[in-house]
Amino acid sequence: MRQKTVHIFLILIGLFCNQTPLLADHENETFLLDIAYYFRAAHNVIDHHQKHINNPDIGDKHLTGTVIVKQTQDNFEEITNKSFIETFRQGEMHKKGFKAFTKAIKTVMNESQEQINKIGKADKNLLPAIFVRKVAEEFEKNIDGQVSIKLTAPHEIILNKDNSPDKFEADVMENKFQSDKWEKGMHVFKEKVLVDNHHADRLVLPEYYQESCLDCHGGSPQAVSPQVVKGHYGNEPSTQTATAPEPRSKLGTLGGAISVIVHHEY
């Protein structure tokens, strides 16, 4: 009996290109893109609220799990130009995945209430990258390991070494996304490969630095200090720091990618 297991890795900065279809089943392929966009939408929402979250003078931020889920679904519709409800009802995989992801968002936000609502503390340790990493971990548990999500970026600018790219992801970012021949924009790279001796379909979606990203990744007058970065990611973050950004750490340049892996087990 053939069993299909789906793994999704989300790397911090997205892309799409025209190659062979990811899967024979169109609903599966659509699901992979949609769950990636849902992940991106959640990241966008927390990024939008970052100054509010870190405001030490306000107690209850009114950013419960239910609030963030609703805003994430709204942002998903803006990104995809599709109805969230209609997308959710597209198939069983969509229903299962979106339920698991929605539950993950609620869990992370509800468990973060004490820290984000604490008066007198400016750094609430809920940066967008930290938020989506926690959501990814909860998501994988909720969906029984069928789907997993990872945030990553090129080795030279990665801040959290736990999110370091694997060889495939690093190669795509360096030789595809950062190539002069790569057409920047809404493009997806996808390829059929072998992973652990099993056939797999991989998809990588690039993300590019926006102004809000530079507060943590350098190039912004409001950039956080290297000490704060170390506090979040340990004593050995990447060579990139907020006060000494890499040349690539500029508005519109590649900041990472969302990587999706679909495993086929036999």
Note the pLDDT tens digit of each residue in 222-259. 555 444 555 555 544 443 333 344 444 677 788 888 88
CA quadruple 190, 263, 163, 27: dihedral sign:
positive
pLDDT in tens, 114-146: 999 999 988 888 988 899 999 999 998 998 877
Q: Tell me what the pLDDT averaged over the chain comes to.
A: 78
Buried b (16+ CB within 10 A) or exposed e, 72-87: bbebbbeebeeebeeb
Pick from 1-10, 75-84, 238-247: least confident: 238-247
* pTM of the complete model: 0.78
**Which of 163, 149, 135 shows the shortest CA–CA distance to 69?**
135
88: its two tokens: 């959710």
What percent of the chain has pLDDT above 90?
37
What are the structural domain ranges in the chain? Answer: 3-265
pLDDT in tens, 142-168: 988 777 778 889 988 887 788 889 999
Is 216:46 a contact under the CB 8 Å cutoff?
no
Q: How far apart are CA 221 and CA 262, in angstroms?
A: 41
Q: How far apart are CA 43 and CA 72, in angstroms?
A: 8
DSSP conformation class of 176: I
